Amino acid sequence: MNKNWSLSQEAFDALLDWLDSDREQAGIKYEQIRSRLIKIFTGRGCIDPEDLADETINRVTRKLKEIQNEFTGDRSRYFFGVANKVYLEYLRRKAPQPPPPPSDSDRAELEYRCLMDCVNRLSKEDQDLVLRHYGARGEARTERRKALADELGITVNALRIRIYRIRWALKECVLKCIQNSLE
């Protein structure tokens, strides 16, 4: 794919026309698709879900001339298929190599600063969820986990999965922050 390609107004208009002949409905569909893509990438623990959603939309737009006459069915499903490919590429990217460790106290301070920065980047809902989840130890944590799951209307396993994904995204963010700070 051409990495220098950028979304022009003409290409965006063609995309909207492909989504729906009614311009207002096309705009609504576009926003729904973009929002869903962001949720998909966020749920998969991606650090930059908005960028991945935009990359997905750009790829569909680039292929539009090839597919617009042939593709039948729900157009949003095409976006989700492309999103799966974008996600696989995201996973294949070389993980950043950890930089050489600084002194222990400097490293601890850097890690803490990066962790706090990454926690602050989370949505308020995710911040609250993680802080409430890890706010207790032992049996109290088990009880808190059950209460949190009940409060959210999900199973305990679904809560564990949600916490795991948030924690994974935090880890990626902290590693990236540490690497950027040491460069």
For residue 124, the domain's CATH number is 1.10.10.10
pLDDT surpassing 70 at residue 95: no
Distance CA(11)–CA(152), nearest Å, equals: 41
At residue 98, the pLDDT reads: 59
Look at residues 84, 96, 92 and name the one whose alpha carbon lies nearest to residue 41: 84
DSSP 119-149: HHHS-HHHHHHHHHHTT--HHHHHHHHHHHH
Cβ atoms of 40 and 83 closer than 8 Å: yes
Residues 69 and 130 in one domain: no
Mean pLDDT of the chain: 85
Residues 87 and 111 in one domain: no
Question: Tens digits of per-residue pLDDT, 78-94?
Answer: 999 999 999 999 888 85
Residues 120 and 77 in one domain: no
Q: pLDDT class for 1, splitting at 50, 70, 90?
A: very low
Task: Assess if residue 154 is contained within a domain.
Answer: yes
Last residue of a domain, one of 70, 92, 114: 92
Question: Tens digits of per-residue pLDDT, 39-55?
Answer: 999 888 888 888 899 99
Cβ atoms of 38 and 46 closer than 8 Å: no
The whole-number average pLDDT for the span 122-133 is: 88
Instruction: Tell me the Cα Rg of the chain.
Output: 20
pLDDT surpassing 70 at residue 4: no
In the chain, the percentage of residues whose pLDDT exceeds 90 is: 31
pLDDT surpassing 90 at residue 158: no
Question: Tens digits of per-residue pLDDT, 128-157?
Answer: 888 888 877 767 777 888 888 899 999 888
Q: Classify residue 52 as exposed, middle or buried by CB count within 10 Å of its CB (0-12, 13-18, 19+).
A: buried
Residues 87 and 25 in one domain: yes
Structural domain range at position 124: 104-182
The whole-number average pLDDT for the span 4-9 is: 70
pLDDT surpassing 60 at residue 101: no
pLDDT surpassing 90 at residue 103: no
Last residue of a domain, one of 62, 92, 122: 92
pLDDT surpassing 60 at residue 77: yes
